[in-house]
Amino acid sequence: MFSKEIELEKIVAQALDELIQCEDFHTIDAFRFFDTEEKGVVDSYQIKKGLEKAKIACDVDSICLFLARFDRDLDQSLRYSEFCEAFLQRDDEKMRQIAKRVPRNVHNQFTYNEMFQAATRRAYANCWQAYFNAERETEKLRQELMKNPFTDIQQAFSIFDRDQKGFFTVQDLKHAFERNGLKFREDECRLVFYKFNGLA
């Protein structure tokens, strides 16, 4: 279960790393492409419309799962800060790289092909597909667990929170894996920890 989650999150992280290396990519430009009314917030309809316009394969269910992961204030939409959380993951190095760049499409004056070079468009599409794949698999797992009459969320939580603190850390997660014969590096544990705990 966790092995698959970690592998999927590693694919997402790799796709994001490749996107950030594209010097013409900027989160402001990417967000503005969806936020055509310049309200600073986008919903699933606007994201779907933008992705279709960019010829990036998508479906409503996958977009809603993506929204559910990053919609921190639960208003069924994404603010720019939440969009950045998805594409920069509050990674200091990624944010530094983006901060050095000047956004070009602040007022939506460029088409998608004018905004990003071909290599950047491919990298951006790869990020969306990586996220969609990861979220679909997570939802499938969640549904399977909910159907299992023996699933005990409190008991599962206690496996990681052995000290009964009411929470657990990345280190607690790693140690729980090790006790169950699973050998994951700390950075791999961090990927799945942040996915389910948010990045705050």
pLDDT: is 67 or 152 the higher one?
Answer: 67
Domain count, the chain: 2
* Its pTM surpasses 0.75: yes
What is the predicted pLDDT for the residue at 178?
A: 87
* Structural domain containing residue 165: 152-197
Using 50, 70 and 90 to split pLDDT, how confident is the model at 198?
A: low
Residues 124 and 94 in one domain: yes
Distance CA 189, CA 6 (A): 7
Both tokens of 143, joined, read 């549904």
What is the predicted pLDDT for the residue at 35?
A: 95
Last residue within a domain, chosen from 121, 144, 167: 144
At residue 199, does pLDDT exceed 50? no
At residue 150, does pLDDT exceed 80? no
Helices (H), 24-117: 27-34, 44-53, 60-70, 80-88, 92-99, 112-115
What is the predicted pLDDT for the residue at 200?
A: 40
Residues 24 and 122 in one domain: yes
Most confident listed range (115-129, 138-152, 167-181, 186-200): 115-129
What is the predicted pLDDT for the residue at 23?
A: 95
Residues 79 and 177 in one domain: no
Residues 7 and 68 in one domain: yes
Residues 108 and 126 in one domain: yes
Q: What is the pLDDT of residues 84-97, one digit of tens each?
A: 999 997 788 889 99
CB atoms under 10 Å from CB of 127, counted, come to: 23
Residues 6 or more apart whose CB falls under 8 angstroms from that of 178 comprise: none
Could you tell me if 1 and 141 are in contact, meaning their C-beta atoms sit under 8 angstroms apart?
yes
Residues 17 and 89 in one domain: yes
Last residue within a domain, chosen from 108, 128, 144: 144
Last residue within a domain, chosen from 119, 144, 169: 144
Residues 33 and 50 in one domain: yes
Q: Which residues pair with 42 in a beta bridge?
A: 78
Residues 72 and 156 in one domain: no
Q: Which residues pair with 133 in a beta bridge?
A: none
Mean pLDDT, the chain, rounded, equals 89
Distance CA 142, CA 104 (A): 40
CATH of the domain at 21: 1.10.238.10
Residues 38 and 133 in one domain: yes
CB atoms under 10 Å from CB of 32, counted, come to: 24
Could you tell me if 160 and 176 are in contact, meaning their C-beta atoms sit under 8 angstroms apart?
yes
CA distances from 109 to 29, 32, 36, 105, 144 (A): 10, 10, 10, 6, 46
Residues 108 and 34 in one domain: yes
Residues 107 and 174 in one domain: no
Residues 114 and 171 in one domain: no
**Which long-range contacts does 36-40 make (Cβ < 8 Å, 24+ apart)?**
36/108, 38/107, 38/108, 40/79, 40/80
At residue 177, does pLDDT exceed 60? yes
